[in-house]
Amino acid sequence: MNVAIPTEDKQMQAIIEKVRAGERLSREDGIFLYKSDDLLTIGQLANEVNLRKNGRKVYFIENMSLYFTNVCEAHCAFCNFRKDEGQPGAYTLSGEQMIEYVEQHIHPGVREFHIVGGHNPHVPFQYYVDSLKALHERYPDVTLKAYTAAEIDFFSRISGLSYREVLQELMKVGLKSLTGGGAEILSDEYRRKMKVTKADVSQYLDVHRNAHELGLRTHTTMLYGSVEKHEDRIDHMAQIRELQDETNGFLVFIPLSMQPISPKAGIRRRNSAFEDLKTIAISRLMLDNFQHIKAYFINIGTQLTQVSLTMGADDVHGTIVKERISHSAGALTPEGITREDLIWLVKGAGRIPVERDTFYNEVKVYE
C-alpha cells in the first residue's frame, strides 16, 4: 500500500500520480526532479517503484574483474587507467599470464569474469579473441561478461569486421554478455569536451542493438558528475530507454559517480551524497522498462550503497576482488568485498540478499 507523500508542489504531485498510475515520465519530469531538493520524496517514490518490481530482494554476484591491457589509443579526459605503449606501468597480458593471475586470486564460488581494458592498437583483434578463449577453456563454468561497446567498435575498426561479425567471433569463444562501460554521457557535445574519441553516441547504441539482436543480454552505464548538465543525464536515460523499448536486451542500468583524478582530491572535487542518491532514484523513476538499477559501491562507498537500497537500487554489484579503473583515479573505497560483507550490507538495510548469476537467475536467497 502506497504511503501518502506530503508535498505542496503541484508538479511533484503530478509526477507522483503518473508514477503510481504506471505512466512514463517525460524529459521535463526528469529535469524537474533533478532541480528539486526534495530528495526524500524522490527517494520514497523510487522505493515504491523498486518494491513493485523486485520486492525486498537485493542482488549481488560472486565475480572477478580482469584487465588484460591498460594500453589505450584513446585519451579520455577522465581516465587515469590508460597508458601509452612503453610507458612505465603499461602492460598487455597473454591468456596464460591472465590465467596465472586468476589462479592466484580466484576464490570458490566465482561465477563471472568482468573483463574490460584499454584499446590497444599494437595487438590484432585475434589477441582479444584468444584472451577470452584461454579463459573459457580454463574456466568453462565461469560466465564471460567481457568488453564495452566502445571496445567492440574499436575491434571493428582494427579488424575490418562489422559489429555483428566481431560479436559473433567473440561468442564462438565464450562471450555471454557485454559490460556497460563506454557510455559515459550519451551526448556528442559532452564527448567533444571530455575528449572521448572512442565510440560516439550512435555507435555505442548500435553495438548494444546488434548484441541484443544476436541474443546477448547486456549492461549499460552513465558516468555522471563532470561537465554535463542535468538535461544531458535525462537525455542519456531517454536514449537507452528508447533502445530498451526496441530490444528489451538490457539487464541493468548502472549510474557511475565520476571519480577525481587523485585520491587526495577534496570533497569539492567529488559528487555529493545528495547527488549520488538523487541520480539513483531518478534512474529508477525514468527507466520504467529496466528491471534492475545498480548501486556501485566502488564509486559511492558501501554505506551510501546501503542507503540507496531504500531509494530505488536493487543491486549491489559483486565481490570484484581487485578493481583498478576507478582506483587508478581517486576512488577511496575498497577494491573488493566479500560475500559475507555484501550479505551484511543488504540485511542492514532491511532487505533480502540474493546471490545471482550474470543474468539475474537466483542462485541462493539469504533469508
Instruction: Say whether 79 counts as a known binding-site residue.
Output: yes
Rounded CA-CA distance 312/44 in Å is: 8
Residue corresponding to grid cell 557510455: 183
Residue 324, classified by CB atoms within 10 Å of its CB into exposed (0-12), middle (13-18) or buried (19+), is middle
Assigned C-alpha cell, 229: 548538465
Q: In tens digits, what is the pLDDT along the chain, a chain of 367 residues?
A: 566 676 778 999 999 999 999 999 999 999 999 999 999 999 999 999 999 999 999 999 999 999 999 998 887 877 777 888 889 989 999 999 999 999 998 888 899 999 999 899 999 999 999 999 999 999 999 999 999 999 999 999 999 999 999 999 999 999 999 999 999 999 999 999 998 888 999 999 999 999 999 999 999 999 999 899 999 999 999 999 999 999 999 999 999 998 665 555 555 566 899 999 999 999 999 999 999 999 988 889 899 999 999 999 999 988 766 444 444 444 444 556 888 888 999 999 999 999 999 999 999 999 8
Residue 183 near residue 223 (C-beta atoms within 8 A): yes
- Whole-model pTM: value is 0.92
Instruction: Say whether 185 counts as a known binding-site residue.
Output: no
Q: In terms of residues, how long is the chain? A: 367
Instruction: Say whether 72 counts as a known binding-site residue.
Output: yes
Assigned C-alpha cell, 158: 582494427
Residue 71 near residue 84 (C-beta atoms within 8 A): yes
Residue corresponding to grid cell 563471472: 112
